[in-house]
Amino acid sequence: GAGVSQSPSNKVTEKGKDVELRCDPISGHTALYWYRQSLGQGLEFLIYFQGNSAPDKSGLPSDRFSAERTGGSVSTLTIQRTQQEDSAVYLCASSLRVSGRINEQFFGPGTRLTVL
């Protein structure tokens, strides 16, 4: 079956512009995560959605970042008034939460964002 997909794969924007990054999780996966990874660094957690529960937004670095998940499936990460320090690879992952099962996260290929 299809894995997690993300679009666009690359995005170049100018400082101050808004960008939207899209994530299509694996069908049926109830949990969805967004991470950010700067060049040569580890993964930085941004936000987590689980079913109909309120999202865990504790990782969002500023109020310029927001995300939504429509219909429990597709998610969009929006960055307003982009800054050069927002340049990074944005990774999305999804997992299936089933009692007693290992909740393995499946990652998409990422969106490489470059802010000029």
Partner 1 sequence: LAKTTQPISMDSYEGQEVNITCSHNNIATNDYITWYQQFPSQGPRFIIQGYKTKVTNEVASLFIPADRKSSTLSLPRVSLSDTAVYYCLVGDRRNNDMRFGAGTRLTVKP
Within positions 2 to 61, which residues make up the interface with partner 1, using CB under 8 A?
4, 31, 33, 35, 41-43, 45, 48, 59
Main-chain dihedrals φ then ψ at residue 69, nearest 5 degrees: -130, 115
Q: Is 97 in the site for partner 1 (CB under 8 A)?
A: yes
d(CA 10, CA 34): 16
Residues in contact with 45: Cβ distance below 8 Å, sequence separation at least 6, in sequence order: 33, 34, 35, 58, 59
Span from 13-21, 60-68, 79-87, 92-100 in contact with partner 1 (CB under 8 A)? 92-100
Q: Which residues in this chain contact partner 1 in the complex, by CB under 8 A?
A: 4, 31, 33, 35, 41-43, 45, 48, 59, 91, 93, 95, 97, 102-110
